Amino acid sequence: MIDRRLFRSEGKLSPAQLEWPSVREAIKEAMQEEMRRDPGVFQMGEDIAWASPFGVTAGLVKEFGPERIRDTPCSEVAVLGAAIGSALGGMRAIMELQFGDFMSVAIDQLTHQAAMLRYLTGGQVRVPIVIRLPCGGWQGAGSQHSQSMYSWFAHAPGIKVVLPATAMDAKGLMKSAIRDDNPVLFFEHKALYRTRWPVTDEYKDKDFLIPFGKSAVRREGKDITVVATLVMVHYALEAASRLEEEKISLEVVDPRTLVPLDKESILGSVRKTGRLLVVDEAYLPCGIQSEIIALVSENNYRDLKAAPRRLGNPGVPVPFEPSLEEVVLPTTEKIVNAARAMMRS
């Protein structure tokens, strides 16, 4: 269901497989369409022109040239600053971080400069930038290449945080991100890049935009609301199928953006189910899981039939060794067990 061998060749795909776009292709198509539409959009990143690390930008340099598909040295601070400054100057930069974890190298430019400049100048400037962050575990990529760091940035004011779980979402959210006038972090799960998803006709529309702050209910259910993002959406759906025969019904809500957060849909779902389980690869301490539980506890306390629960990395570096990744990160099995325990309590 998810791809745990991203560093290996994908092999030959059957025509049936190729019928659906992958998340990687969806992101690329969105960027390509927006670059054709708006000459102010350009991209920067390490190796993006000629050796696209995960293939997202592969081939774009042939269409747009090296000025707009701009290879950079390993200088995350200067390149992010270049994105911000060019945005002040009227451009729209998309910056790829080879691994999203590298955001930590340039955190000042993000949280203090990009995110605060508009506020500090009393609204005089706009900072329309998109930072693409390949994230998440399941590749044996090691602790500094496997994190899901969105809680860090959802915590800071002034940054939009986007988490696409399907090809449809990847395209519609990326197009919205590029047209947004604020700094946007676009987290791309490495285990989803090559996964393929059915799309509707809308997908081909040049103005197909998915608005931020609108969650997707991936599956309706009545017993437990499971809030999940990225890979965990798919694990939660798998858990929901498994629990069907035990007559436990999961409702899977994918917020799709953490900032802004579609609070109403989460609250509405818990109002119906009376139970909340939040599943994410993010570290648990002060993580996004806690934020969603706080939201429900503050607003829906009387609706709760059981104590809310959260699954996530309990607070160790994501291990390099693949079987230990499964120990630390949430899995379908862990979601199933947590759901059962919540129904017993």
Partner 1 sequence: MLDKDLKLAMMRKMLLIRHLEKAWGDAYLNGEIEGIPPALSTGQEAVSVGACMALEDGDFVFTTHRGQAPQVAMGLDPKKILAELYCRRTGYNKGKSYHVTDFSRGVIGMGGIVAGQVPVAGGMALAHKLKGTDRVSLCFFGDGASNEGALHETANLAAIWSLPLILLCENNGYCISLPVSREINTAHISDRAVGYGMAGEWVDGNDPIAVYETVSRAVKTARSGNGPSFIEAITARLSGHLVHDPQRYRPRDEIEAAWEQCPIKGFGNRLKNEGLITAEGIAKMEAEVLGEVEAAVRFAKESPPPEPEEAFEDLWA
Amino acid at 167: A
Minimum CB distance to partner 1 smaller for 106 or for 168: 106
Near partner 1 by CB under 8 A: residue from 60, 61, 82, 243: 82
Round to whole Å and give the CA distance between 229 and 189.
10
Q: How far is the CB of 129 from partner 1 (least distance, A)?
A: 9
CB 182 within 8 A of CB 127: yes
Helices (H) and strands (E) counted in the chain, each on its own, are 13, 12
Size of the site for partner 1 (CB under 8 A): 41
Report yes or no: 175 and 209 within 8 Å, Cβ to Cβ: yes
15 binds partner 1 (CB under 8 A): no
Task: In angstroms, give the least distance from the CB of 80 to partner 1.
Answer: 7
Q: Is 182 a binder of partner 1 (CB under 8 A)? A: yes
- 84 touches partner 1 by CB under 8 A: yes
For the bound state, the minimum distance from the C-beta of residue 158 to partner 1, rounded and expressed in Å, comes to: 6
22, 42, 64, 186: which one contacts partner 1 (CB under 8 A)?
A: 42
Closer residue to partner 1, CB minimum distance, 11 or 73 = 73
- Binding window for partner 1 (CB under 8 A); candidates: 108-116, 228-236, 243-251, 323-331: 108-116
CB of 293: closest distance to partner 1 in angstroms? 25
Listed in sequence order, the residues at least 6 apart from 162 whose beta carbon sits closer than 8 Å to its beta carbon are: 173, 177, 184, 185, 186, 187, 212, 256, 257, 258
Considering the complex, what minimum distance in angstroms separates the CB of residue 266 from partner 1?
21
Q: Does 66 bind partner 1 (CB under 8 A)?
A: no
Please tell me what DSSP assigns to residue 11.
-
127 touching partner 1, by CB under 8 A = yes
Q: Are 252 and 275 in contact (CB under 8 A)?
A: no
CA dihedral of residues 219, 225, 228, 231 (deg, nearest 10): -50
CA distance 245 to 156: 42
Residue 13 touching partner 1 (CB under 8 A): no
Between helices 23-37 and 167-179, what is the axis angle to 10°? Answer: 30
Instruction: State which of residues 26, 69, 80, 131 lies at the interface with partner 1 (CB under 8 A).
Output: 80
**One residue of 125, 316, 324, 341 binding partner 1 per CB under 8 A:** 125
Whether 145 is catalytic: yes
* Token pair belonging to 204: 């081909």
- Burial class for 325, CB neighbours closer than 10 Å (0-12, 13-18, 19+): buried
Q: For residue 119, state whether it binds partner 1 (rule: CB under 8 A).
A: yes
Q: Is 63 in the site for partner 1 (CB under 8 A)?
A: no
* Residue 63: its H or E element: helix 60-68
Residues 151-170 that bind partner 1 (CB under 8 A): 157-158
List of residues contacting partner 1 (CB under 8 A): 42, 67, 72-73, 75, 77-91, 93, 108-109, 112-113, 117-128, 157-158, 181-182
Catalytic residue IDs: 145
